[in-house]
Amino acid sequence: MSESFETKTVHIHHNPVHPDVSKATPIYQTSVFAFPGLEEVEDYYAGKRDYLYTRNGNPNQVELAEAVARLEEAEQGVGAASGMGAIMAGLLAVLNPGDHLLASHEIYGGTYALLHKELSRFQIEMELIDLSRCESLEPHVRPNTKLFYLETITNPLLTVADLPYWMEQAKQHGLLTMVDNTFATPYLIRPMSFGADLVVHSATKYIGGHSDVTAGVLVGRRDLLQRAKEIVVSFGASLSPFEAWLAARGLKTLALRMERQCDNAEKIAAFLSQHAAVKTTYYPEENDVAFFQHKRRGAMVSFCLADEARVYDFYRRCKLITLAPSLAGVETTLSHPVTTSHRALSVEQREASGITMGLVRLSAGIEAAEDIIADLRQALEF
Q: Known catalytic residues?
A: 55, 108, 180, 205
- Measured over the CA atoms of residue 324, residue 104, residue 198 and residue 190, the dihedral's sign is positive
Residues linked to residue 177 through DSSP beta bridges, in sequence order:
148
DSSP result, 45-88: HTTSS--SBTTT--HHHHHHHHHHHHHHT-SEEEEESSHHHHHH
**266, 364 in Cβ contact below 8 A?**
no
List the one residue out of 327, 323, 275 whose CA is nearest residue 299: 327
How far is 338 from 238, CA to CA, in rounded Å?
Answer: 30
Angle, vertex CA 157, rays to CA 152 and CA 162, nearest 5: 35
Judge if the upstream peptide bond of residue 97 is cis by omega within 30 degrees of 0: no
CA pair distance 260, 280, nearest whole angstrom: 24
| Number of H-type helices and E-type strands within the chain | 13, 12
